[in-house]
Amino acid sequence: MRKLSHPDHLAEWKRIIQGERPAYQKVIAVSSGTCGRARGSLQILETLTQEIERRKLSDTVGVEATGCHGFCEMEPNIVISPEGLFYKKLEAKDIPAIVERTILKNKLIPSLVYEDPATGRKYPRQREIPFYQKQMRLLTENNYRINPERIEDYIVLDGYQALAKALFDMTSESVIAEVKASGLRGRGEAGFLTGKKWELCREAHGHPKTIVCDADEGDPGAYMNRGLLEANPHSLIEGMIIGAYSVGASEGFLCVRTEYPLAVKHVTLALEQARKHGLLGAAIFGSEFHFDIQVVQVAGAFVSGDETSLIAAIEGRKAFPRQQPPFPAQQGLWGKPTNIHNVETWANVPVVLNKGAEWYAKIGSDKSPGTKIFNLGGRINNTGLAEVPLGTRLRKLIFDIGGGIKNNRALKAVQTGGPCGGCIPAGKIDIPLDYDTLSQAGSILGCGGIIVMDEETCMVDAARYSLNSSSEESCGKCVPCRVGTKQMLEILNRITRGQGEALDITRLENLAAVMKAASLCGLGQLAPNPVLTTLRYFRNEYDAHIREKRCPALVCQGLLPEKKKAKNTRRPETGRKAI
Amino acid sequence: MDIEKILKESGTSQKDLVPLLHKIQAAYGHVPPESIAAVAKHLHLSESEVFGVLSFNRFFTLAPKGKILVTVCQGTACHVRGGGRIVEEMEKKLGIPAGRTTADKKLSLEKACCLGCCAIGPVVVVNGTHYSLVSPQKVDSILEKAKTAE
């Protein structure tokens, strides 16, 4: 296909692609994100392709490697269209039967169908599975329809139409107004209004302006950005181009972690394809707008989650944060106005323009519109990526979508927002998940990591683990964070060893107050959260450790009764640490 | 590959530093300490600035690494499922602490802060191949496979 030099070419191209597509009667989408591949999805893909060829079905049955379908617990899995059948936890030996019975004779194979462990009911169709049915998948719905290595698949699903609309039917100002009206907030730490940020950048002096996509997802326990990068790279690229048009930027950077090789591959390929078809580079869609994006491989530092330290990393300096204001939207990369958002925020932009601000603002809660992808992990039955409207109650996420706690144990707490988030106790499980409510409860929404802890988790130990990550990741530039994380960690280490003192709690609170007030960036300001929330909601566990020299959850090795020690504790597989 | 050749293909501004270090590490398996001066000169930076960025980012290494790279994930989700025990087991079996290379220079053991495959942890990656739901019992066979895969 030639370069698109007019917005009408998009519809034309879509028709051409549809005309040229083989008329498959069935398409099998194999979930092949990093998790899927680790569980053998590529082998499934190969066996399927061979089996289809062997039976000479290549003209009627298509096999595609797609990005992650979100239900990571059930990897490797496939979705068979048009029926939308979902087969879970496949092995190569299942393939001949799938082709023989399901593809050729339209019969189900009951052993591969998802069964709800709670009710025992079987759900053959993906849509009907409670994990999917209770979600609202604005960003992730298309994952099983797209081969991320082909731009054509995105075009057929009306990709780049939001960009065409922005460039030809709207002015930069009206795009900003639309995004502002939608109420879209940054899906990273701060939850700042996206449209407001664009406006600041547009009004700031300095040229050239820059757009940055933060895909350096360093938060341990969260991979929704990787999911999007691998599965639907064009959605965030389209968002970035629209953002660039609105603020008047000519250059963009997409910063991906080196630890995500598949994401780097898909994004690089997507950018090449977009460039080839005139959607990036000089004269986009034949307009007067020029913009290009380059990939930067960030070399692994959690602190790059702060905008100013990411800027330093792109500039080729150590990823140290700096004082704000001036905000990056005013003075960012090389001192010029720069707009930084993470992957999920950028991927929301085309949705806002396609569906309209009014429609978008109605989803989610009043002050936090839209959906959010949450990463369910820890002691929960259905691990994976779940997209729900903001303001959804935690209970719904954990029990209706997540399928409840592993082995039917009792829920104790939920950590939201990664190691810088706080622990919400089981008693507050009806809390709505949005920026403001969570911060009132002492936690953060963060990038959306949800770690579920059951009754066998020691909350003091959980706080200690989080502090340990924060102290390792602290860049060391400012004293409150560098020294504070270390001192808090040492106190917690002592408490979990049975050497806690009555004064320790006051010491922890004082350190936390200083760190919150005086740290330079979010890492130091938020690092005390796990300690503060566990002190607030689980004070009795601290008291048991310090006064009674006892670990109620029987996790802290130094505090176990002699008999238990000999038995090597209740949880041999995890040793003394457990969250 | 020659350092000079890599330098020639790279830009000369500060923002080219990290990509350049990536290229050098890809070519040599590590960043040879003697290349720091050449990189600094090429980018018009001081050697300390180059060294600073190099040592700040955990991905880069100054010491040569083995051809077989074993990475054990230590993210929250893997930790919950016993990632710590996997590292201990690896260290015991290999006789080296994480971050080091075996005496025969063939195998390096690394810890990663999160590899982003949280649903299937604990995760171990050997030269790009992922192993999921790893238990201490599986460590032996993973290491065996790693050594023969070379």
Top pLDDT among B2 and A511 is at A511
3-state secondary structure of A88: coil
Structure token pair of residue A86: 């979902």
For A266-299, the three-class secondary structure string (H helix, E strand, C coil) is HHHHHHHHHHHCCCCECCHHHCCCCEEEEEEEEC
Residues of B with CB under 8 A from a CB of A: 13-19, 21-22, 43, 49, 52-53, 56-60, 74-77, 79-82, 84-85, 88, 112-120, 123, 128, 130-132, 135
Question: Residue A224's closest CA among A400, A94, A56, A383?
Answer: A383
* Among the partner residues B76, B84, B123, nearest to A419 by beta-carbon distance: B76
A353 and A240 both lie in a single domain = yes
- Is beta strand A411-416 parallel, antiparallel or unpaired with respect to A449-454? antiparallel
Same domain, A80 and A109: yes
Domain count, chain A: 4
Cα–Cα distance between A413 and A398 in angstroms, integer? 11
Q: Let me know if residue A28 belongs to a domain.
A: yes
Here the CATH number for the domain that contains residue A421 is 3.10.20.600
CA–CA distance, A123 with A86 (Å, rounded to integer)? 8
Residue A37 backbone dihedrals phi, psi, to 5 degrees: -60, -40
Last residue of a domain, one of A337, A361, A385: A361
Are A502 and A547 in contact, with CB atoms under 8 Å apart?
yes
Say which CATH number the domain at A513 has: 1.20.1440.230
Give the mean model confidence (pLDDT) for residues A545-568: 79
Distance (Å) of CA A166 to CA A177, A249, A342: 12, 15, 21
> Which of A371, A403, A374, A576 minimizes the C-alpha distance to A493?
A576
pLDDT level of residue A304 (50, 70, 90 thresholds): low
Burial class, A99, CB count within 10 angstroms (exposed 0-12 / middle 13-18 / buried 19+): buried
pLDDT value at position A302? 58
Widest distance between CA atoms in chain A: 77
- Which residue range is the domain that position A512 belongs to? 459-566
Query: Could you tell me which residue, A576 or A454, shows the higher pLDDT?
Result: A454
Type of residue numbered B66: G
Choose the final residue of a domain: A430, A454, A478: A454
- pLDDT in the model for residue A572: 38
Q: Is the pLDDT of residue A92 over 80?
A: yes
What are the pLDDT digits (tens) for B107-128?
999 888 777 777 777 899 998 8
The answer to whether residue B3 scores a pLDDT higher than 70 is yes
Judgement on whether residues A73 and A178 belong to the same structural domain of the protein: no
Stretch A325-339: mean pLDDT: 94
Taking one residue from A and the other from B, the number of pairs with CB-CB distance under 8 angstroms is 147
CA A526 → CA A295, A523, A577, distances in Å?
Answer: 29, 5, 22
Q: Rounded to whole angstroms, how far apart are CA atoms B129 and B127?
A: 6
**Contact flag A419-B79 (C-beta cutoff 8 Å):** no
Token pair in block for residue A157: 């699903």
What integer is the mean pLDDT of A362-373? 94
Helices and strands, counts by H and E, chain B: 7, 4
Contacts of A576 (CB under 8 A, 6+ apart): A461, A555, A556, A557, A569
Residue in B closest to A473 by C-alpha: B113
Distance, in Å, from the CA atom of A492 to the CA atom of A462, rounded to the nearest integer, reads: 10
DSSP letter at A560? -
- B69: Cβ–Cβ under 8 A, 6 or more apart, which residues? B107, B108, B110, B125, B126, B127
Q: By 3-state DSSP, what share of chain B in percent is helix, strand and coil, each rounded to 5?
A: 50, 15, 35
Report helix, strand or coil for A338: strand
B84 to chain A, minimum CA–CA distance in Å? 7
Same domain, A350 and A281: yes
* Residue whose pair of structure tokens reads 């968002």 in the numeric block: A239
A157 in the same domain as A79: no
Q: What angle do CA A161, A167, A173 make, to 5 degrees?
A: 120
Per-residue confidence at A573, pLDDT binned at 50, 70, 90? very low
Residue A578 lies in a domain: no
Please give the pLDDT value at position A239: 97
Q: What is the CA radius of gyration of chain B?
A: 17
Q: Please state, in angstroms and rounded to a whole number, the distance separating the CA atoms of residues A180 and A202.
A: 13
Q: How many helices (H) and strands (E) does chain A have?
A: 25, 15
Q: Does a structural domain hold residue A180? A: yes
Average pLDDT over residues A126-139: 95
Give A31's strand partners. A66
Assessment of whether the complete model's pTM goes beyond 0.95: no
The answer to whether A255 touches A310, Cβ cutoff 8 Å, is yes
Domain C-terminal end among A311, A334, A361: A361
- Shortest distance, CA A40 to any CA of chain B (angstroms): 9
| Residue A563 confidence (pLDDT) | 59
Q: What pLDDT score was predicted for residue A574?
A: 39
Distance CA A567, CA A10 (A): 67
pLDDT computed for residue B64 by the predictor: 87
Identify the DSSP state of A103. Answer: I
CA A519 distance to own-chain centroid: 26
Q: Which two tokens stand for residue A200?
A: 């600041």
Per the listing, tokens 């806690």 go with: A500
pLDDT in tens, B30-84: 999 999 999 999 999 999 999 999 998 888 889 888 889 899 988 777 877 778 8
Rounded (5°) CA angle A364-A365-A367: 125
Q: For residue B116, give the nearest of A259, A314, A419 by CB distance.
A: A259
Summarize pLDDT for A409-423 with one digit per residue, the tens. Answer: 999 999 998 888 899
Mean pLDDT of the region A42-66: 95
Give the rounded distance of the alpha carbon of B47 from its chain centre: 22
pLDDT band at A170; cut points 50, 70, 90? very high
Whether A141 is in a domain gets the answer: no
- Pairwise CA distance, residues A449 & A422, whole Å: 11
Residue A145 lies in a domain: no
**Number of Cβ atoms within 10 Å of the Cβ of A105:** 8
Do A448 and A465 belong to one domain?
no
Number of C-alpha atoms within 13 angstroms, CB side, residue B5? 3
Q: Which residue has the tokens 């009795």?
A: A540
**Pairing mode of beta strands A411-416, A423-425:** antiparallel
Which of A99, A76, A158 is CA-nearest to residue A355? A158
Starting at the edge strand found earlier in the chain, the sheet holding A61-66 runs A61-66, A26-31, A78-81, A85-87
As a whole number, the mean pLDDT across chain A is 91
- CA-CA-CA-CA torsion sign (A555, A556, A558, A560): negative
CATH code linked to domain B68-149: 3.40.30.10
Sign for the pseudo-dihedral over CA of A437, A442, A446, A450: negative
A142 in reach of chain B (CB within 8 A): no
Contact call for B130 and A37, based on CB within 8 A: yes
Of A569 and A536, more confident: A536
Which of A45-59, A206-220, B66-80 ranks highest by mean pLDDT?
A45-59
Residue A543 lies in a domain: yes
- Residues A145, A151: Cα–Cα separation, whole Å: 12
For residues A10 and B16, give the distance between their C-alpha atoms in angstroms, rounded to a whole number: 36
CA distance B84 to A252: 39
% of chain A with per-residue pLDDT over 90: 77
CB neighbours of A28 closer than 8 A, spacing ≥ 6? A48, A61, A62, A63, A64, A78, A79, A80, A81, A103
**Inside any domain, residue A352:** yes
Instruction: Judge contact between A536 and A529, C-beta under 8 A.
Output: no
Residues A492 and A549 occupy one common structural domain? yes
Burial B71-91 (b: 16+ CB within 10 A, else e): bbbbbbbbbbbbbbbbbbbbb
Residues 5-34 of A with CB under 8 A from B: 34
Q: Which residues of A touch B59 (CB under 8 A)?
A: 258-259, 299-300
CB contacts, 8 Å: A297 with chain B: 18-19, 22
- Same domain? For A294 and A399 the reply is no
How many Cβ atoms sit within 10 Å of the Cβ of residue A407?
Answer: 9
Q: In chain A, which among 423-482 make CB contacts under 8 A with chain B?
A: 449, 451, 465, 469, 472-473, 475
Instruction: State ipTM.
Output: 0.84
Does some domain include residue A146?
Answer: no
CB atoms within 10 A of CB A2: 9
Structure tokens at A26: 């069935």
Q: How high is the pLDDT of residue B1?
A: 60
Residue A180 sits in the same domain as residue A99: no
